[in-house]
Amino acid sequence: LKKGDRILLVDGVSVSFDGFKALNNLSFSINYGELRCIIGANGAGKSTMMDVVTGKTRPDEGHVVFGEAVDLLGLNEPTIAQIGIGRKFQKPTVFQNNTVFENLELAMKEDKRFFKTLFSKLSGEQEDKIDETLGLIGLKDLVHRQAGILSHGQKQWLEIGMLIMQEPKLLLVDEPVAGMTPQEVENTAEILTNLAKDNAVVVVEHDMEFIRSIAKKVTVLHEGSVLAEGSMDAIQNNEKVRQVYLGE
């Protein structure tokens, strides 16, 4: 994959829960090297969309294609994770009693591609990968700190680091800055921006200032489909968006 190649296609996806359409003919695509923000009111279908892409929920209609031609609908959740789609849920789930380093190490060793067991020695390549990731998530100075005593923001970054250790090509991140201090929000913007340079990152967020600071392109979901798509400025001036959000 190179920059600008399409990495994800969601094509005409519908999902119903007891007759209620959580996703209604949803279509959008994401390119490699892109940092995309997805916004929308509560109930718009953002989490359901992530559930479909990661294989947790099977759609009633439509297709999800990863890379050139991998049809995700035939694959289960672990397989989808393995082929390069990582998901970060809202609440950080780090190993509290392990150090920052150990958390990254454990995340990597879950990766079958390394064919490593838990107590084997790290290769130079693996150590480099951890070191590089520590730099990216800004936790170099805290490498031997126990994860349980990190701040909320630092835990979120560590969890992003743990996802990076699995070498995903597409990362789905759910509300990364909820509960963060303004300084932490700024750091998170930088981390995700750098991450997207050699990846594709989809962020679901409510914090508009944060979105403005990171996203080139924003997708607005409404009642399970795309209401509008474009730059933050275009979105804010979009007539349909104004009607729905401002009642104009």
We find the least distance from the C-beta atom of residue 50 to Mg ion, in angstroms, to be 8
Taking CB under 5 A as the rule, does residue 103 contact Mg ion?
no
> From the CB of residue 154, how many other CB atoms can be counted at a distance below 10 Å?
21
- Pattern 147-176, binding to ligand ADP, x per CB under 6 A? ------------------------------
Amino acid letter for position 197: K
Angle value at C-alpha 197, between 25 and 193, nearest 5 degrees: 80
Contact positions with ligand ADP (CB under 6 A) in 4-33: 17, 22
Q: By CB under 6 A, what part of segment 40-99 binds ligand ADP?
A: 40, 42-48
Which residue's CB is nearer to ligand ADP, number 22 or number 185? 22
SS3 117: coil
- Choosing among Mg ion, ligand ADP, none, which partner's interface includes residue 48 (Cβ < 5 to 8 Å by kind)? ligand ADP
Assigned token pair, 28? 């959008």
Give the nearest distance from C-beta 32 to ligand ADP in angstroms. 25
Residue indicated by tokens 């190649």: 5
**Count of residues binding Mg ion (CB under 5 A)?**
2
CB of residue 51 to Mg ion, shortest distance in Å: 10
C-beta separation of 133 from 161 below 8 A = yes
Smallest distance, ligand ADP to C-beta of residue 172, A: 12
Q: Give the distance from CA 173 to its chain's centroid.
A: 3
**Residue pair 177/210 in contact by the 8 Å Cβ criterion:** yes
C-alpha separations of 157 from 4, 45, 128, 136, 199 in Å: 26, 25, 18, 9, 16
Please give the residues from 22 up to 51 whose contact with Mg ion meets the rule CB under 5 A: 46-47
Binding site for ligand ADP (CB under 6 A): 17, 22, 40, 42-48
Site residues for Mg ion per CB under 5 A:
46-47
